[in-house]
Structure 1
Amino acid sequence: MTTSLRAASRATLVAAAGLGLAAALSPAAPATSAADTATAMSSRPAPTTVLDVRGLEQGDPPAVRWSERRSGRTVIHGAGGATTPAPNRLDQFAPMGSGYVIQTIGAGGSTTRWLGADGTSGERSWKTGYGLAVSAQGKAVAFSGKGGRVWSIDEFGDRVLRFNPVPINGRGRAVAVFGEDCKESSTSNGCAVYVNGSRRAYYTSSHGIVDRVPRLRLTSTGRGRWVGGITSLSDAGSCSAMLRSWKVAWRTCDNQFSDISPDDRHVLGTPAYADGFGPTSLDVLSTTDGSVVRSFTSARNGRSATYFDEVWEDAGHVLVVTYQADRWAVVRLGVDGSMEYAVAPRRGTMDIRAPFQLQTR
């Protein structure tokens, strides 16, 4: 099942990563102090909410783009109720220019292309690794292909830029873009793209610089001065670290990192070990010290949801695609513990791909 594979891959091999462009181009990483290496912990138990999404109230539609597959037809829901027809094998997408950068999954792996607002495909397509990387303001999207090749598409939609490849075998996974304009000019400092190989994380910049991401084995999330990622992986789970300006701020073996909130205050923590159909617990962590601000947990009696595609909608809310009691839905989770439907439940099974997907941010 494509959706469950996406979630498992995100939990074990990382979904997004990054660091500020200035830090990415820095010639050396700062030293790590003893205080920087503290293990994340909270002085008091975090408030918890059981992730039981049955019978929630209906709220507003998602404020981000989302796709829906119904009766063999897939559409992307945009701003103001506009819809764009898309391939049924759609796996990831991000708004770009007047359309979208989309990634589809087929027998030959992932293919990336630009899609116009009317559903018309661009002239070019690329065989790529899984993953789209999107800049903080959404003005650039990057992806990686065979031999670590890296490209970006900017807000004009038809301007494709190529970077020096990163030294990996196979197809890379683009995880973050830092900088909103990857074409260097008198008004732009360019950008840097973070890419995961199977064993290591690298970055490549529009300045032509290629190097390893320091202190992390794989990057998993980043925004502004913050970057987080995996430091070790084993059959028993994983350990991760959150860096600020390339100094280790804190570590944890309880979570892997997902999306950082738009105000940089919180980071989503998925389980440190991915197993089964999908994750059933989600932590909201403070980026500053790793303390757990809110936990969405599974019920002991099993009456709770599995989730996928976790994305910050705004600084106080997270959107997730959920599956529970033979129904798929898009649920809005509040940092305050609130829950409501953003897209009403639809009957389905766990043997098919989810009918809903959320944009990559």
Structure 2
Amino acid sequence: MTIVRAAVLAATTLALSASLATTTQASPASPATPAPKRVVLDVSDLAQGAPPAIAWSERRSGRTVIHGTGGTTTPVANALDQFAPMGSGYVVQTIGRRATTRWIAADGTPGAGEWRTGYGLAVSPQGQVVAFAGRAGRVWTIDQEGDRVLRFNRLPVTGTAHAAAVTGENCKEGEGDPGFGCSIAVNGPRRAFYTSSHGIVDTVPHLRQVDTGRGRWLGGLTSVSDFGSCSAMLRSWRVTWRTCDNQLSDISTDNRHVLGTPAYADGFGPTALAVLATSDGSVVRSFSSARDGSSATYFDEVWEDADHVLVVTYQDGEWAVVRLGVDGSMEYAVAPRRGSMDTFSPFRLQTR
């Protein structure tokens, strides 16, 4: 009896298998649902993720500290506006009647020099050089050892200049590895220039203002009007593509993507952020406001790594640091904190 039942079961199983195989071959598997290209920038209820993988600052109880990637904390002035890791410490820029830039050690001890500068720091792709600029076309860099400040040939700027981008990782000609020099793109009141460690000073072609740069890529404004702006992306000084939909912001660490902010800036802060392909300007992902206005505005957009962007957000009376993925994901990198839109953000992200 057992042998007969086993034979019947085997025959039935073979018949069902053949039937299922025929059905499966006739009906191909349905593809996975792709992530939406447009994601609403609603950060009111996100999961808590890992802390930022880049340096960030926090102001709490009247005291401001920079959180380093190794868990260190460095006390800095409450007027901190921009900062970048450099050597064993940071290049910090504070705001007030005028911007002031200096180097500080990891314990907060200030270096010997202090400079009155224009707003903005520019950082080389690997973070080995930080540049800043000031009145009458003056430009300086601090190198990776944090011990030497180099001066560059002045730019033909009558007002205050603002550093925008650095190409090269060593500005000391012929020293170290690499020892090929550097150039710094700088914005004057009316147009952009560059000055190099070779002593060359010239205008940046095609761009009125440089907004971002990394390696051979350089992006910025070509025109501005009451109705918006237009921008272009250059590769090796040649225009690769143009857009009047976005202004260009930070370029990703692998050069594949560039952030696009609104072409027209108005109000408390932007509510839309686009991830564009650096090669052609096509939209890879966009984070935009809800139609009823119940979403976040953001500041300090910086690439954390090749696949994630960190932004400081404000929504419903709360500040937070949010991690945005190129895949459309969102999570908290620093948990929300109650605060007013009438005061400075309690968070800042390092300049890259």
The TM-score normalised by the length of structure 2 is: 0.88
Which range is displaced more, 125-134 or 238-247?
A: 238-247
Bigger relative CO (Cα 8 Å, ≥ 6 apart): 1
Identity of aligned pairs, percent? 73
**Match for residue 231 of structure 1?**
222
Deviation readout 1:186-228 (Å, 9 max, x if unpaired):
5411110110011100000011100000011111112122211
What amino acid is aligned across from residue 324 of structure 1 in structure 2? Q
Alignment pair present for 1:339 and 2:334: no
Match of 1:155 among 128, 137, 144: 144
Alignment pair present for 1:358 and 2:349: yes
Match of 1:138 among 114, 119, 127: 127
The structure-2 alpha-carbon separation of the partners of 1:76 and 1:257, relative to structure 1 and needing over 3 Å to count, comes to same
1:89-104 correspondence to structure 2 within 5 Å? 89-104=79-94
**Match for residue 212 of structure 2?**
221
1 CA distance for matches of 2:148 and 2:236? 31
2 CA distance for matches of 1:326 and 1:118? 33
Match of 1:71 among 58, 61, 66: 61
2 CA distance for matches of 1:46 and 1:254? 20
Query: In the alignment, is the contact (CA less than 8 A) between 1:46 and 1:292 conserved in 2?
Result: no
- SS of alignment partner, residue 243 of structure 1: strand
**Match for residue 59 of structure 1?**
49
What amino acid is aligned across from residue 71 of structure 1 in structure 2? S
Match of 1:197 among 175, 188, 191: 188
Which range is displaced more, 61-70 or 215-224?
A: 215-224
Alignment pair present for 1:262 and 2:267: no
1 CA distance for matches of 2:107 and 2:215? 34
Alignment pair present for 1:168 and 2:157: yes
Match of 1:117 among 83, 89, 106: 106
Greater Rg over alpha carbons, structure: 2
Deviation readout 1:46-85 (Å, 9 max, x if unpaired):
7100000011000000000000000000000002211000
**Match for residue 291 of structure 2?**
300
What amino acid is aligned across from residue 81 of structure 1 in structure 2? G
Gaps of 5+ in 1: 1-44
What amino acid is aligned across from residue 75 of structure 1 in structure 2? V
**Match for residue 284 of structure 1?**
275
Q: Displacement of 1:174 after TM fit?
A: 0.2
2 CA distance for matches of 1:119 and 1:51? 36
The structure-2 alpha-carbon separation of the partners of 1:186 and 1:153, relative to structure 1 and needing over 3 Å to count, comes to closer
Stretches of 4+ aligned residues off by more than 6 angstroms: none
Gaps of 5+ in 2: 1-34
The TM-score normalised by the length of structure 1 is: 0.86
What amino acid is aligned across from residue 145 of structure 1 in structure 2? G
The structure-2 alpha-carbon separation of the partners of 1:304 and 1:168, relative to structure 1 and needing over 3 Å to count, comes to same
- SS of alignment partner, residue 353 of structure 1: coil
1 CA distance for matches of 2:224 and 2:36? 26
Query: In the alignment, is the contact (CA less than 8 A) between 1:46 and 1:293 conserved in 2?
Result: no
1 CA distance for matches of 2:49 and 2:124? 28
Count of paired positions: 316
**Match for residue 8 of structure 2?**
none
**Match for residue 28 of structure 2?**
none
Query: In the alignment, is the contact (CA less than 8 A) between 1:46 and 1:295 conserved in 2?
Result: no
- SS of alignment partner, residue 191 of structure 1: strand
1 CA distance for matches of 2:173 and 2:291? 54
Query: In the alignment, is the contact (CA less than 8 A) between 1:321 and 1:356 conserved in 2?
Result: yes
Q: Please tell me the root mean square deviation across aligned C-alpha atoms, in Å.
A: 1.1
